[in-house]
Amino acid sequence: MEVAEKLHSLIGVLESADNLWDINQMRIYNLHPLHGDREGQYALDLGRRLGFRLIIIPLDENGNEWDEKDINIVYRATKIVIAWEVTNHYE
């Protein structure tokens, strides 16, 4: 139940943000890029002690996944994300 509440709250924050830069400034969510098989995806913590995270895919102004590698550009220019999945980081 707590995971669902945290997810609902985070979705509200994402909807009210102008871009991912706003979310990045909220250190509680620990926005960070993923690597390997998850290249192009980013994670947001739903609470460190919970161990769950929301995986998002940022989209550019044309609705495509970013080719840009500079996260500062991605964070400042992303206004649309795909909420991909919720995972337990420790499983």
Across the chain, mean pLDDT equals: 92
As a whole number, mean pLDDT of residues 14-34 equals 94
In tens, the pLDDT along 27-69 reads 999 999 999 999 999 999 998 778 899 999 999 999 999 999 8
Interval 4-24 mean pLDDT: 94
- Tell me the mean pLDDT in the region 19-25: 95
Domains of the chain: 2-88 (3.30.2310)
Kindly indicate the confidence band of residue 15, based on its pLDDT and cuts at 50, 70 and 90: very high
Long-range contacts of 6-14 (CB under 8 A, 24+ apart): 6/46, 6/47, 6/50, 6/52, 7/46, 7/52, 7/54, 7/86, 10/44, 10/46, 10/54, 11/83, 14/56, 14/81, 14/83
